Amino acid sequence: MKDLVENRRRITLAKKLRIAGIVLRENGILWSALLGIYYTASTISQRAFAAMDARRKKKGIPGLNSRALNKAIWEAWDWKAGGEEWTPSEAWKASVIRCILEKHVPSNSSVLEIGPGGGRWTGHLIERAADFLAVDISESCVELCQKKFASSPRARFIVGSGNDLAGVPDASVDALWSFDVFVHINRKEVECYADEFLRVMRPGAVGIIHHGSVGGTLGGWRSNLTHEGMLDLLKQRGFQIVASFKEWQDGDVTHQAGLYQDIVTVFRRADR
């Protein structure tokens, strides 16, 4: 049905009337009326989003992606599902772990996770880590993870400000991981984080960041940062781009990084 609504501009009036007649004949007045409401609401919501996006760009306002709103939203989030509500399938998650996490996060390394949330990836990172530290803007997420991974003595969780890594020592990180986090962080804050990456990552350390690509124009509560913008921020600080992709191949299956053309970027701090 969503595809039909999105295709409405390419359907002539005569064809729309023919479709409407069939809908009414086969489904009755009430169901057809509800479809009309859905159709109208979809049109209004798309126009409203386009107007919001235009005003956000014109005025330079943060939308839903400011530090204050990110903190408030994640503090209020129901974490009973542990973040798995964003996992499209078990096969997809297993592929992320096998093809991305295990491929790029060295075993027995010092691992930093930014935004563990409900601990969706945390257990797998801890398994590969000699020591593990996670930073989250939400106190409730930190408390949740402290309880969830209390049996892991090498794991620590601290509250962050949303644009720095103040609790992370200089040159202490071998691998940095963040998934479903930077898609919601605006460029201004990502610039601050990129400076912090340079401070906390050891020479040769690797970073794996999941982020948006088109500046939030497709919805999904995405930030204003683009794919090119993220790459530029990293390159300006001397990081080497190892890979940057919106999909990957696992056997005969192609997996997507996200629902809104999201990207996974792997980068490395140069050896010095």
Place domain 68-268 in its CATH homologous superfamily: Vaccinia Virus protein VP39 (3.40.50.150)
pLDDT of residue 178: 99
Do 61 and 55 meet the contact criterion of CB atoms below 8 Å apart? yes
Do 223 and 212 meet the contact criterion of CB atoms below 8 Å apart? yes
Q: pLDDT tens across 180-234, in order? A: 999 999 999 999 999 999 999 999 999 999 999 999 888 778 899 999 999 999 9
Q: pLDDT tens across 118-128, in order? A: 999 999 999 99
Residue 1 has pLDDT above 50, yes or no: no
Which residue's structure tokens are 């992370």? 168
Do 184 and 160 meet the contact criterion of CB atoms below 8 Å apart? no
Q: Who's near 272: CB < 8 A, 6+ residues apart? A: 203
| Stretch among 3-7, 90-94, 184-188 having the lowest mean pLDDT | 3-7
Tokens of 50: 């386009």
The phi and psi torsions of 248 (rounded to 5 degrees) equal: -145, 160
Residue spans of the domains in the chain: they are: 2-59, 68-268
Residue 3 has pLDDT above 50, yes or no: no
- Interatomic CA distance for residues 230 and 228, integer angstroms: 5
pLDDT mean over 52-74: 92
Q: What is the model's pTM?
A: 0.89
pLDDT of residue 272: 61
pLDDT mean over 236-247: 98
